[in-house]
């Protein structure tokens, strides 16, 4: 990022501290001002170390439920800050508790640690050269979704908040989560398992905050109240017909033709059966397998896909319609359809009241850079499990360099995805100030 933009951020952050003394929501005397000022100064001081952490984690990515090195790095850092640290939560997760010197609410902050089975194609001195086995196949490993940034940012936030521990009016739980991208086949993991294993216990947080880097202009903060990211469910349909010669299809029941009709029928659910003014939804068939040669009509065809929705009620309704559509189309041709739907991540819902309360914090952190309302995103996040337990706010941090167009730059999960490190300080300041503002506001 260029020096002028960084200087504008630093000036804005300094001005933000001065504004705090007179902010009505923070009118608790000079202690609040001093706390914010100390935190801002420490955030700037720790920025070089955050960059170092990020590069180290980026160069040594680890797949879901295999984040051993990353977890050890995180745990060692948190112990050095004299926190209560618990490890091996949901396999490799780390949960740490920072108890402030003053009474107040409990705030949770979360970062995900896992990388993806992607071979990096970005020319960096700290590019990943790691290889690993994923579902029985050797693959390259890369932080193609940007979780290396999340971990480094939250490590920096831990440093900042620990530096003001004596004046901190509350408790902070730092949750470093494995397997956000999904546990390996045959395993469990991620946020849901962390909760089952007590990540929110002793003490239980009142709220949780989290962020995700993405293809917006470097340092730009975006958010959305209410439904923000989709639920993600897995769909498998097996259509069974009756095998016969391809030259005499009337001698059997063709499951390939039936499957084709089902694929088209599924698309009418979103376009013709659900009110599009209420909420969007997506049914995608991503894989179809059936048959072994061109002149044999097979016995069966397997289709697999994904279902995305933004409303819990619509989610259940669309499942019912998928079953009805597949089964009845198959029956009309003398075939059968077996429909299997596996629930994945729920809808990511930012608590409207909490979001409205905290948006001014993001605006102050952003300074002159406008904070933007994010469009609905059809990708999914297992941060949603935490939000089912307590009110939560999940927001987005732009990492596209200034010399690139966010509309055309490589996005998350691409082997060419690149995150500008100029956004790291903004992430540290955002999570730090959200925590402090929540603790000190009336």
The model's pLDDT over 59-96, given as tens digits with 9 standing for 90+, comes to 999 999 999 999 999 999 999 999 999 999 999 999 99
Instruction: Let me know whether 181 and 257 are in one domain.
Output: no
Confirm if 30 and 21 have CB atoms less than 8 A apart.
yes
Cα 358 from Cα 307, distance rounded (Å): 31
Query: pLDDT class for 33, splitting at 50, 70, 90?
Result: confident
Would you give the DSSP letter of residue 404?
Answer: S
Phi-psi region of 122 (alpha: psi -120 to 50; beta: other; left: phi over 0): beta
* Tokens found for residue 403: 């010399």
* Residue for token pair 């989560």: 177
Strand pairing category for 296-297 and 131-134: unpaired
pLDDT at 21: 36
DSSP per-residue string spanning 305-320: EEEEES-HHHHHHHHH
Q: What CATH code is carried by the domain that includes residue 26?
A: 3.40.630.10
pLDDT at 189: 97
pLDDT at 115 over 50: yes
Average pLDDT of span 242-268 = 98
Strand pairing category for 226-229 and 169-177: unpaired
* Tokens found for residue 124: 């960096």
Strand pairing category for 102-112 and 169-177: parallel
Query: pLDDT class for 19, splitting at 50, 70, 90?
Result: very low
pLDDT at 128: 98
pLDDT at 29: 43
Backbone torsions φ then ψ of 170, nearest 5 degrees: 155, -165
pLDDT at 277: 86
Average pLDDT of span 180-198 = 96
Instruction: Let me know whether 160 and 88 are in one domain.
Output: yes
Instruction: Let me know whether 146 and 66 are in one domain.
Output: yes
Confirm if 303 and 288 have CB atoms less than 8 A apart.
yes
| Boundary residue ending a domain (342, 370, 404) | 342
pLDDT digits (tens, 9 = 90+) for 164-181: 999 999 999 999 999 999
Kindly report the pTM of this predicted structure.
0.91
* Tokens found for residue 436: 């402090």
pLDDT at 347: 97
pLDDT digits (tens, 9 = 90+) for 120-150: 999 999 999 999 999 899 999 999 999 999 9
pLDDT at 431 over 50: yes
Of 346, 344, 390, 350, give the one whose Cα is nearest residue 373.
350
Confirm if 126 and 55 have CB atoms less than 8 A apart.
yes
pLDDT at 103: 96
Backbone torsions φ then ψ of 278, nearest 5 degrees: -85, -55
pLDDT at 119: 98
**Helix (H, G, I), strand (E, B), or coil: what is residue 117?**
coil
Per-residue CA distances from 192 to 146, 189, 384, 412 (Å)? 21, 7, 9, 23
Instruction: Let me know whether 383 and 253 are in one domain.
Output: no
| Boundary residue ending a domain (293, 320, 342) | 342
Instruction: Let me know whether 57 and 129 are in one domain.
Output: yes
Average pLDDT of span 409-427 = 98
Query: pLDDT class for 31, splitting at 50, 70, 90?
Result: confident
**Helix (H, G, I), strand (E, B), or coil: what is residue 266?**
helix
Of 337, 245, 326, 251, give the one whose Cα is nearest residue 283.
326
pLDDT at 17: 42
Confirm if 132 and 410 have CB atoms less than 8 A apart.
no
Q: What angle (nearest 5°) sits at the alpha carbon of residue 183, between those of residues 288 and 377? A: 70
Instruction: Let me know whether 38 and 98 are in one domain.
Output: yes
pLDDT at 411 over 50: yes
pLDDT digits (tens, 9 = 90+) for 245-257: 999 999 999 999 9
Quote the number of domains for the chain.
2
Averaged pLDDT score across all residues of the chain: 93
* Share above pLDDT 70 across residues of the chain, in percent, rounded to a whole number: 93
Instruction: Let me know whether 29 and 173 are in one domain.
Output: yes
Q: Provide the Cα torsion 140, 146, 147, 152; round to 10°.
A: 120
Per-residue CA distances from 70 to 87, 144, 383 (Å)? 12, 16, 19
Instruction: Let me know whether 353 and 426 are in one domain.
Output: yes
Instruction: Let me know whether 410 and 428 are in one domain.
Output: yes
Residues of the domain holding 279: 231-342
pLDDT at 45 over 80: yes
Instruction: Let me know whether 273 and 308 are in one domain.
Output: yes
Instruction: Let me know whether 202 and 288 are in one domain.
Output: no
ω before 375 within 30° of 0 (cis)?
A: no
Active site residues: 345, 421
| Boundary residue ending a domain (307, 326, 342) | 342
pLDDT at 14 over 90: no
Average pLDDT of span 32-36 = 91
* Tokens found for residue 24: 């009505």
* Tokens found for residue 62: 């680890």
Q: 255 versus 20: which is more confidently predicted?
A: 255
pLDDT at 405: 97
* Share above pLDDT 90 across residues of the chain, in percent, rounded to a whole number: 90
pLDDT at 26 over 70: no
pLDDT digits (tens, 9 = 90+) for 347-400: 999 999 999 999 999 999 999 999 999 999 999 999 999 999 999 999 999 999
């Amino acid at each position: 990022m260029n020096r002028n933009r960084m200087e504008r951020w630093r000036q804005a952050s300094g001005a933000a501290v001065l504004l705090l003394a007179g902010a009505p929501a923070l009118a608790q005397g000079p202690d609040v001002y001093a706390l914010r000022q100390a935190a801002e100064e420490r955030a700037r001081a720790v920025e070089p170390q955050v960059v170092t952490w990020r590069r180290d984690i980026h160069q040594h990515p680890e797949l879901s439920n295999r984040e051993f090195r990353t977890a050890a790095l995180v745990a060692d850092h948190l112990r050095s800050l004299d926190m209560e640290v618990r490890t091996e939560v949901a396999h490799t997760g780390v949960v740490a508790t920072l108890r402030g010197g003053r009474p107040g609410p409990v705030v949770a902050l979360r970062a995900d640690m896992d990388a993806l089975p992607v071979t990096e194609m970005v020319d960096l001195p700290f590019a990943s050269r790691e290889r690993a086995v994923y579902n029985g196949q050797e693959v390259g490993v890369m932080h193609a979704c940007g979780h290396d940034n999340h971990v480094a940012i939250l490590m920096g936030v831990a440093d900042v908040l620990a530096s003001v521990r004596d004046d901190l009016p509350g408790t902070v739980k730092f949750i470093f989560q494995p397997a956000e991208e999904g546990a390996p086949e045959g395993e469990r993991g991620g946020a849901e398992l962390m909760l089952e294993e007590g990540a929110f216990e002793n003490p239980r947080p009142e709220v949780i905050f989290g962020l995700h880097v993405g293809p917006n202009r470097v340092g730009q903060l975006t958010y959305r109240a209410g439904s923000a990211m989709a639920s993600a469910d897995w769909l498998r349909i097996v259509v069974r017909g009756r095998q016969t010669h391809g030259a005499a299809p009337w001698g059997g029941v063709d499951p390939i033709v039936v499957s084709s009709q089902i694929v088209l029928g599924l698309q009418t659910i979103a376009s013709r059966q659900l009110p599009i003014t209420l909420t969007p939804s997506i049914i995608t068939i991503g894989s179809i397998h059936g048959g072994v040669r061109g002149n044999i009509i097979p016995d069966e065809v397997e289709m697999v896909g994904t279902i995305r929705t933004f409303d819990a009620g619509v989610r259940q309704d669309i499942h019912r319609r998928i079953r009805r559509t597949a089964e009845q189309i198959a029956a009309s041709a003398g075939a059968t359809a077996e429909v299997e739907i596996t629930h994945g991540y729920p809808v990511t819902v930012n608590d409207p009241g909490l979001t409205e309360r905290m948006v001014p914090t993001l605006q102050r952190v952003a300074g002159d850079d406008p904070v933007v309302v994010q469009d609905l995103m059809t990708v999914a996040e297992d941060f949603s499990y935490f939000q089912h337990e307590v009110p939560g706010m999940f927001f987005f941090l732009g990492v596209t360099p200034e010399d690139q167009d966010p509309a055309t730059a490589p996005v998350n999960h691409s082997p060419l995805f690149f995150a500008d490190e100029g956004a790291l300080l903004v992430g540290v300041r955002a999570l730090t100030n959200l925590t402090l503002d929540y603790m000190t506001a009336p």
